[in-house]
Amino acid sequence: MAEQDVMEKLVSLAKRRGFIFQSSEIYGGTGSVWDYGPLGIELKRNVKEAWWSAMVHQRDDVKGMDAAILMHPRVWEASGHVAGFTDPLVECKVCKKRFREDALATSECGRKPLLTPGAHEDCDLSQARLFNLMFKTFMGPVEADSAVVYLRPETAQGSYVNFLNVQTAARQKIPFGIAQIGKAFRNEITPGNFIFRTREFEQAEMQFFVEPGTDEEWFERWLEERHRWHLSLGVRAENLRFHQHGPDELAHYAKKAIDIQYQFPFGWKELEGVHNRTDFDLRRHEEYSGKRLEYVDSGGGKRFLPYVVETAVGVDRTVLMLLCDAYREDVVEGEARVVLALAPRMAPIKAAVFPLMKKGGLPEIAREIVDGLRKASIPAFYDEAGSIGRRYRRQDEAGTPWCVTVDGQTTEDGTVTIRDRDSLEQLRVDRSRVREWVLDGLDRGG
């Protein structure tokens, strides 16, 4: 399928089935802001839960926290964002559109078609000026400079300024990490590609504090760990690769940076970054706050400012990756089918339950099965509308791995059919075993 095709089909499926809607659509939309619908929020919740489980609950050496979006403005002076978190902005004096200077070759000018090589050669472009990407607002009842606060452009700084609070309260020894999931905001000049680059987005970031000298080893370990995590979501290995930043790409705080890229329909793009941030951030916060942030080892009494290995993944990008990787078109019994082959653990609905007919006690039995699944915390969906074939198709598009049908035979021998989304196999099991069957399937399917 051509790139445009796939993205158009995905955006359309996302709206039709309730994964993702354009924000404020009835008002013509808000630029590159998206809302998650009923299925989308469940998919996103599953991504966040998988990250939190792997990064926090299954480990001794990483603790979670949740810093506020609005922080003290000095935080962003110390981090370098006030001075340096900028993009070079140029304006076409004719069409008045604004562009990132470093992305001119692939930008759309009002007078030229998208992706035309040299589209801006004959445009009258302004000189580039630096444009800060932080959203700013005013806190307290006075709109004056003293009350300017920023919407955080990353969660990481919240972990740095709380480093000693967390280390002390959670009685951690180096090496240990602080994990956060939360919203961040960047006033991108040219956002785009659906939920890939948006002005409001969600990050899952982990800062791992280590003794200087052990940072390179930890960098490798975390890079491998994070690559394994993406594979555990059921993504095809050939669609993931590493990209090491060259000296010209490295951020000011980074000694080394490797991206984990995914092959989206619009190209290989950054999904996650693993960064060796050295002691840059903690040192700057010491300098700007006047507070010591050294770690003192309770055993030997060694004192040092830790180095930080950061893993930073976009939650929305991970959702988009899962949608892209799972999207399939095939033909079933002579009929075209769209299916999201999501890993069962990621699927918004684990099991849909259908009564074959709306009578004969079948709806009641189907309801009982749904209730039993829900009691075991398994998201389940009841549907009695339309033919069984149409009900299957809707669940295929929702990515539901198993459909359970209650039919005439159920009232005779107590068995139901379970239909597998991918193999299309149907087998009969006793209705009392549906819950166990789904739980086993979740264990097997990851």
* Per CB under 8 A, 437 contacts its own copies: no
Distance of CA 357 to the CA centre of its chain: 40
Maximum alpha-carbon separation in the chain = 80
- Residue among 11, 128, 189, 251 that touches its own copies (CB under 8 A): 189
In the complex, the smallest distance separating the C-beta of residue 148 from its own copies, rounded to whole angstroms, is 11
List the alpha helices (DSSP H) in 170-328. Answer: 215-232, 280-289, 315-326
In the complex, the smallest distance separating the C-beta of residue 263 from its own copies, rounded to whole angstroms, is 27
Q: Which stretch binds its own copies (CB under 8 A): 162-170, 261-269, 299-307, 351-359?
A: 162-170
Decide whether 88 or 414 has the Cβ nearer to its own copies.
88
* Per CB under 8 A, 31 contacts its own copies: yes
Q: Judging by DSSP bridges, how do beta strands 335-340 and 327-332 pair with one another?
A: antiparallel
Token pair in block for residue 27: 């008002």
In the complex, the smallest distance separating the C-beta of residue 89 from its own copies, rounded to whole angstroms, is 6
In the complex, the smallest distance separating the C-beta of residue 261 from its own copies, rounded to whole angstroms, is 26
Decide whether 95 or 424 has the Cβ nearer to its own copies.
95
431: DSSP letter = G
- Residue among 119, 240, 293, 315 that touches its own copies (CB under 8 A): 293
Are the C-beta atoms of 81 and 93 separated by less than 8 Å?
A: no
Q: Which residues pair with 74 in a beta bridge?
A: none
- Residue among 5, 12, 16, 430 that touches its own copies (CB under 8 A): 16
* Per CB under 8 A, 209 contacts its own copies: no
User: What mask, x for binding its own copies by CB under 8 A, covers residues 312 to 351?
Assistant: ----------------------------------------
Give the whole-angstrom CA distance, residue 49 versus residue 224: 20
- Residue among 1, 4, 5, 29 that touches its own copies (CB under 8 A): 29
List the alpha helices (DSSP H) in 308-352. Answer: 315-326
Coil, helix or strand for 303? Answer: strand
Decide whether 190 or 239 has the Cβ nearer to its own copies.
190
Q: In terms of Cα–Cα distance, which of 311, 328, 156 is closest to 229?
A: 311
Q: Which residues have a Cβ under 8 Å from the Cβ of 55 and sit 6 or more positions away?
A: 62, 177, 179, 204, 206
Instruction: Name which of residues 50 to 109 contact its own copies (CB under 8 A).
Output: 52-53, 57-58, 60, 63-72, 74-75, 89, 98
Are the C-beta atoms of 224 and 281 separated by less than 8 Å?
A: no
Q: In terms of Cα–Cα distance, which of 331, 272, 305, 55 is closest to 174?
A: 305
* Per CB under 8 A, 169 contacts its own copies: yes
Cα torsion for 427, 431, 434, 436, to the nearest 10°?
-120
Q: Which stretch binds its own copies (CB under 8 A): 11-19, 232-240, 262-270, 273-281?
A: 11-19
Q: Which stretch binds its own copies (CB under 8 A): 249-257, 287-295, 307-315, 412-420?
A: 287-295
Give the whole-angstrom CA distance, residue 311 versus residue 270: 12
Q: Which stretch binds its own copies (CB under 8 A): 113-121, 169-177, 210-218, 241-249?
A: 169-177
- Residue among 117, 140, 213, 246 that touches its own copies (CB under 8 A): 140
Q: Which stretch binds its own copies (CB under 8 A): 221-229, 241-249, 283-291, 307-315?
A: 283-291
In the complex, the smallest distance separating the C-beta of residue 361 from its own copies, rounded to whole angstroms, is 19
Instruction: Name which of residues 354 to 413 contact its own copies (CB under 8 A).
Output: 370, 374, 377, 379, 382, 385
Cα torsion for 241, 219, 248, 288, to the nearest 10°?
140
Which residue carries 């400079």 as its tokens?
Answer: 145
Decide whether 73 or 414 has the Cβ nearer to its own copies.
73
How many chain residues bind its own copies (CB under 8 A)?
81
Decide whether 270 or 384 has the Cβ nearer to its own copies.
384
In the complex, the smallest distance separating the C-beta of residue 184 from its own copies, rounded to whole angstroms, is 11
- Residue among 9, 15, 255, 283 that touches its own copies (CB under 8 A): 15
Q: Which stretch binds its own copies (CB under 8 A): 16-24, 223-231, 302-310, 409-417?
A: 16-24
Please report, as a single letter, which amino acid is at residue 114: L
* Per CB under 8 A, 213 contacts its own copies: no
The DSSP code sequence of 80-140 is: THHHH-EEEEEEBTTT--EEEGGGGGG---TTS-TT-TTTTTTS-BPPPEEEE---EEE-S
Coil, helix or strand for 62? Answer: strand
